[in-house]
Amino acid sequence: MKYNFLGNTGLVVSELCFGTMTFGGKGYWEAIGKIQQKEVNDLMKVVVESGINFIDTANVYSFGESEKLLGQSIKDNGFNRNDLVIATKVRGRMGEGLNNVGLSRYHIFQSVDESLQRLQLDHIDILYVHGVDPKTPVEEIMRSLNDIVLTGKVRYIAICNWPAWMVMKGMGIAEKNGWNKFVGMQYFYSLAGRDIEREILPLAADQNLAMMPWSPLAGGFLGGKYSRNAAKAEGSRRDSFDFPPINKEKTYDIIDVISEVAKQHNASVAEIALAWVRQQKGVTSTIIGAKSIDQLHANIKSVDVILSADDLQKIDEVSALPKEYPGWMVERQSGDRVLNK
Ligand SMILES: NC(=O)c1ccc[n+]([C@@H]2O[C@H](COP(=O)([O-])OP(=O)(O)OC[C@H]3O[C@@H](n4cnc5c(N)ncnc54)[C@H](OP(=O)(O)O)[C@@H]3O)[C@@H](O)[C@H]2O)c1
């Protein structure tokens, strides 16, 4: 396992982060995974023994169950909490109360207290904003995030799923007021969804923000079970929970190419898909998901796969995004600023 600094901070995280969205299985989350305490403890043991020190959960995963199971597994396994970097999130609805949702100062403070109770911890290392709240002003959000850091309950703040302009608006407001700024970003990034290459990854590079890709296997579609001839895979998440949205026809072409690359590396399709994400410029820590110990072992093994320049080119040709404005104009106009061609 290799380690990276998290963006512009002195915090060190493993190149893989373990995602706990498969823990719990309460309500809506049942289709994603329903792993209970005994297996959670076993998975976490493998995670920590592999050298992964970075764990991702969210208040909303199984409506708090994922945080509870994770917190208990730290106790049950006797892990040193200070060897782990624990991230959770705030934004989603956590109950029926009018204010039990969103990014108001009210809910951010309430949610952090409730997450800490469920996790049985006294601080969260990284608090992610889980998405857009169209009703709370960005200024209120940034001030509340700064203030929650000042309470000592949260060490760093980070962002998921906001459009680039909104992230920069938040960063600008924080900068102007001397508040804590986002240190990292968590976005959907996989061979089946390279959208963040347009605006988000350039933003991350410009601001030196860490990038933690989520759903690197596109929710399991790149796990090796799906292909043009196998549109369904019994018992797999994507059969009943078809998310995130992807262009399936294009993804079948991608699967054809990475299946060939996988054979040459004596590796699985999933390992190649994960290696590709890990090797992309700007990626700090890829968030892996697993429903079983076998999947977890396979995903950890992907760090040993090093794709060659030739592999990367073949994969890029089949998966690249179509040109889009203003990207093609930026590329065209950058040509006359290159020296020593
Ligand atoms: N910030 C956000 O908005 C956001 C959104 C989504 C996720 N996340 C985070 O990202 C983490 C990872 O997301 P994800 O679970 O969607 O990741 P993913 O890697 O795209 O999908 C994981 C699923 O793929 C299948 N799989 C995993 N390893 C496999 C292997 N080696 N071979 C074959 N199939 C395999 C399993 O489902 P099946 O066996 O059922 O196919 C597994 O549950 C989550 O736990 C969460 O922490 C964040």
Tens of pLDDT, residue by residue over 228-245, are 998 888 889 999 899 999
Distance of CA 240 to the CA centre of its chain: 21
> What confidence score (pLDDT) does residue 341 get?
79
Cα distances (angstroms) measured from residue 235 to each of 26, 35, 182, 291: 17, 14, 38, 11
Tens of pLDDT, residue by residue over 170-224, are 999 999 999 999 999 999 999 999 999 999 999 999 999 999 999 999 999 999 9
Per-residue confidence at 6, pLDDT binned at 50, 70, 90?
A: very high
Mean pLDDT of the chain: 97
* Cα-to-centroid distance, 143 and ligand 1 (Å): 32
C-alpha closest to that of 184 among 4, 335, 6 = 6
Q: Which residues of 51-67 are buried (b: 16+ CB within 10 A; e: fewer)?
A: ebbbbbbbbbbbbbbbb
Residues 101-118, mean pLDDT to the nearest whole number: 98
> What confidence score (pLDDT) does residue 231 get?
86
State yes or no: pLDDT of 160 exceeds 90. Answer: yes
Tens of pLDDT, residue by residue over 238-285, are 998 999 999 999 999 999 999 999 999 999 999 999 999 999 999 999
Decide: 251 and 217 in contact? Cβ < 8 Å: no
> What confidence score (pLDDT) does residue 250 get?
98
State yes or no: pLDDT of 82 exceeds 90. Answer: yes
Decide: 170 and 138 in contact? Cβ < 8 Å: yes
Beta strand spans in the chain (E): 3-5, 12-14, 16-19, 54-56, 85-90, 124-129, 154-160, 182-188, 210-214, 286-288
Residues 37-48, mean pLDDT to the nearest whole number: 98
> What confidence score (pLDDT) does residue 233 get?
87
Cα distances (angstroms) measured from residue 266 to each of 127, 160, 189, 269, 286: 38, 34, 24, 10, 22
Q: Report residue 157 as tokens.
A: 């703040």
Atom 42 in ligand 1: residue holding the nearest Cα: 290
Q: Which of 39, 277, 287 to mutate to test the pocket of ligand 1 (most atoms within 8 A of CB)?
A: 287
* Cα-to-centroid distance, 214 and ligand 1 (Å): 8
Atom 25 in ligand 1: residue holding the nearest Cα: 220
> What confidence score (pLDDT) does residue 275 get?
98
Tens of pLDDT, residue by residue over 287-341, are 999 999 999 999 999 999 999 999 999 999 999 999 999 999 999 999 999 898 7
**Looking at the domain 3-337, which fold is it?**
TIM Barrel (3.20.20)
Atom 24 in ligand 1: residue holding the nearest Cα: 220
Q: Which ligand 1 atom is nearest residue 224's CA?
A: 33
* Counts of helices then strands in the chain (DSSP H, E): 12, 10
DSSP annotation of 104: -
> What confidence score (pLDDT) does residue 234 get?
85
State yes or no: pLDDT of 57 exceeds 90. Answer: yes
Atom 48 in ligand 1: residue holding the nearest Cα: 214
> What confidence score (pLDDT) does residue 91 get?
98
Percent of the chain at pLDDT exceeding 70: 100
* Cα-to-centroid distance, 307 and ligand 1 (Å): 22
Q: Which of 217, 237, 246, 271 to mutate to test the pocket of ligand 1 (most atoms within 8 A of CB)?
A: 217
Residues with CB under 6 A from ligand 1: 19-22, 33, 56, 130, 160-161, 186, 214-220, 223-224, 236-237, 270, 287-291, 295, 298-299
pTM higher than 0.95 for the full model?
Answer: yes
Q: Which secondary-structure segment (H or E) carries 146?
A: helix 138-150
Q: Which amino acid is at 199?
A: E
Q: Following CA atoms 159, 131, 293, 298 in sequence, which dihedral angle do they give, to the nearest 10 degrees?
A: -60
* Cα-to-centroid distance, 150 and ligand 1 (Å): 33
Report the Cα–Cα distance between both ends of the chain, in Å, rounded. 37
Task: Return all residues near 123 (Cβ < 8 A) that are at least 6 apart.
Answer: 116, 152, 153, 154, 155
Q: Which residues of 130-145 are buried (b: 16+ CB within 10 A; e: fewer)?
A: bbbbeebebebbbbbb
Atom 17 in ligand 1: residue holding the nearest Cα: 215
Catalytic residues: 61
